[in-house]
Amino acid sequence: MNLNEIENPLYHSIISLIANGKNNEHIPHELDIEFIKNMNDLLWLVQNDEIEYSSFIPKFMYYKKYSDQISDDEFIGLTRQIYSKGLLDGVNTVFIFYFIESVTTVAELMKSALSLRDLLNIGYPNPEELIYYLQEYTHAEVDSQTISHYQKISRSQKLLRTKPSVFFEHLNEYSQQFLSELTDWVDAPVKSQLIKHMITESVSSLPTSTSWEELYKKINSSDTLLKDFPPSFRVFGDKLSKLPKVSLDGDIASNFPPKIAMDLIPKFVFSRPEVLEQIKIYFPGGSHIGHSSILIKTNSGLLLFDFGMSVVNNSIPNWLPYLEGLDAVFVSHAHLDHSGALPLLFLEQKNLPVFMTKETKVISEMLWNDTANILKKVYSKQVVKNSKTLSNLTNKSNILNTLDQTIEIEYGQSINILPNVEIIPHNASHLFGSSMFEIKIGNKSIIYTGDFNADGTVIFPGAKVPLDNATKLIFDGTYYNKAESNEVSNSDKLKSKFQSYDKILIPAFSVGRTQEVLYQLIKTGVPKDWKIKITGMGSTVMKKLRYQFETTPLLKKQLSLNRTVRPDEFIEKTIVIGGHGMLQAGTARGLAEATKDDPNTSILFTGYQAPTSLGFALLNKKSGLNFKQDIDRLKLSGHTSSPTLNSILDDFEGEKIMVHTPKETKVKDKQILTPKTYKN
């Protein structure tokens, strides 16, 4: 392999500048102030192909290496954008990223390559090529055994990508140890196939058992994946059919969802005799906001709560082997960071039930289809083709598979899905149909709040967390330990905008936030001569859910639901509530661009703005953007406020585990655990 054989001029420009360092004659020794100033515009300009990559990007990388003028968020955001457009492949991206951080050993490079997958969602690079680059530019010495090992992984990667059927025909030629390591270097759908094969092989090698004690002894003495799984029919199948049967409790059976009652009977009839439940909790989604997921293992099965996808980088939860043995999935609400990766679980699953409310099902279907369309636009065709995860998330048939397996639930309805396990959903008051789950296992009760709002909003009453008999609380810590602000009230702010500006644009996420903004306008009172236009998916949600709100005949005359609003329709005395709350695209972005020279237009943001978004740039007054509108924000949230959350935590004496928290959150209470500190 020769670096010159790689036809990627952008990559060579970057490496040349970085490798030659400050001695490179093409870059002045003094920082280019004009470049740094312009770089404030970079992240959103990249999204719109408004810059010359070949000259700008290498310089950007150079300054990241040799100055402190570029933040990590800006660097990560730009690198992700370059990759998504197919300008660099996974190997190039990993090497540039970590060459900048002065990685010098194979161990550091491989560890970095795997961690970068979550950071940038770039897929899995070829480890053989990474070693080559490391040797070429840092002159690191790598022993032949290490090279041979990663060559084998690289060849397997390529075969799985180009001729997967050939690889799977020869699976038995690979050891389980090698296949287990290979799963670290392939994306989720392929990893799933490898894990299923290893589980099947492990189960088939076990002789039929006649007692639980014998079965457990054989499992625990084997060096396979099986020892990590509870012995359920999802994993062991017919191996359990000769175990002693137990009688089926009629009261429990009455709580079986009718759609899957026949599938549940064997789980209960061949269930393990009454013993102390061994509960383990895993956090494949981690502790931060992005891709939420909680996995609970009992004596007899595996339950998954949420399986989200990051709206910032489209990354998904860690694909644990346990995901191949799931008995059921419960979805707290439709927001993508809790439901977005769910279709990946249903590539081949034919009898895995997923429980959610009717509203969550309706909204999830809309969001999944919308996401599939957006991913096709954001990522180049080649990038999507090379990523099994992205290609499956854009495949509409996977969405249909998920919907086919969905069972609608109601608040307070008891659900029995495993022996000795009862699930009860409660209203989380976060979004239409949002749920928190009371999970009763034996004599213990675990509460998973999902995203919840105990304060209440103009739409929802405050959530009541059922803590009376709970032993563990897994809670949404979005506003944990946050100081309360003294901002002007939303009503006062809106009234001042009506008086001071001709037009108001409110970018708002279509599901929940758009409807809450409408309620704020109703509460404030909109002047009689103003019109309110709701666009896109926000209006579709209101129609599909037959959304009702307290209103007046006057407001009905002022309000209209629209597919879109053209710039020539955004006239004086008009409020437009548009989707894409970060101004990434859509009607809101088009109207923001059309009125950029109009100081009589006000743009009011209503939620989180990612560092790569135009909304973030405008709110943080990035120089050079030349948007002359009034820029402000409304204070809206679907999460529990800090004082209310503190009160709930103070009153709870059980174990407290915090998830869904910003990365900068500091845990001040030693009794509050995070996934990193929690021990089963």
- Average pLDDT, consecutive stretches of 10 residues, N- to C-terminus, the chain (680 residues): 46 63 51 53 52 63 69 72 74 70 77 75 80 77 89 91 88 87 90 90 80 80 81 85 83 86 87 76 93 94 95 87 94 95 86 93 92 86 85 91 94 92 96 95 94 88 93 94 75 92 91 83 87 85 66 70 90 90 86 93 88 80 79 88 93 94 86 89
State the pLDDT at residue 217.
80
Q: Which of 168, 4, 6 is nearest to 89 (CA)?
A: 6
Q: How many residues does the chain have?
A: 680
CA gap 306, 396 in Å, rounded:
20
Residues 531 and 623 in one domain: yes
SS3 323: helix
127 and 265: one domain? no
Q: Are 266 and 237 in contact (CB under 8 A)?
A: no
* 626 and 662 belong to one structural domain: no
Are the C-beta atoms of 596 and 628 separated by less than 8 Å? Answer: yes
pLDDT at 224: 76
| Token pair belonging to 485 | 């602000």
| Same domain flag for 504 and 418 | no
Please indicate, yes or no, if residue 680 is contained in any of the structural domains: no
How many structural domains are present in the chain? 4
Q: What range does the domain containing 343 cover?
A: 280-481+641-673
- Domain presence at residue 274: no
| pLDDT confidence of residue 414 | 92
Instruction: State whether 133 and 26 are in the same domain.
Output: yes
Same domain membership, residue 423 and residue 284: yes
CATH code of 600's domain: 3.40.50.10890
CA pair distance 427, 450, nearest whole angstrom: 10
Within-domain flag for 412: yes
What DSSP string describes 227-282?
A: GGS---HHHHGGGGTTSPP-PPPHHHHTTS-GGGHHHHHHHHHTPPPS-----EEE
CB environment 605-622: b (16+ within 10 A), e (fewer): bbbbbbbbbbbbbbbeeb
Asked, for residue 546, whether it belongs to a domain, the answer is yes
Q: Which of 269, 292, 325 is the last residue of a domain?
A: 269
Residue 678 in any domain: the answer is no
Is there a single domain that holds both residue 303 and residue 263? no
What pLDDT is attached to residue 6?
41
Q: Are residues 262 and 337 in the same domain?
A: no
- Residue 509 and residue 657 in one domain: no
Asked, for residue 679, whether it belongs to a domain, the answer is: no
pLDDT the model gives residue 631: 93
For the chain, first and last CA: distance in Å? 48
* pLDDT reported for residue 1: 34
Q: Domain end: 269, 292, 326, which one?
A: 269
Distance CA 12, CA 24 (A): 14
Helix, coil or strand: residue 531: strand
What CATH number did the domain enclosing 666 receive? 3.60.15.10
> HSE (CB half, 13 Å, CA atoms) of 121?
26
> Looking at residue 20, what is its pLDDT?
60
pLDDT at residue 444, rounded to an integer: 93
57 vs 66: CA distance, rounded Å: 14
Are residues 147 and 232 located together in one domain of the fold?
A: no
Residue in 66, 58, 48 with CA at minimum distance from that of residue 15: 58
Residues 182, 157 share a domain? no
Q: Is the CB of residue 412 less than 8 Å from the CB of residue 292?
A: no
Tell me the two tokens of residue 360: 């969550």
275 found inside a domain:
no
**Domain boundary at 269, 290, 317, which?**
269
Same domain, 580 and 445: no
- Residue 665 inside a domain? The answer is yes
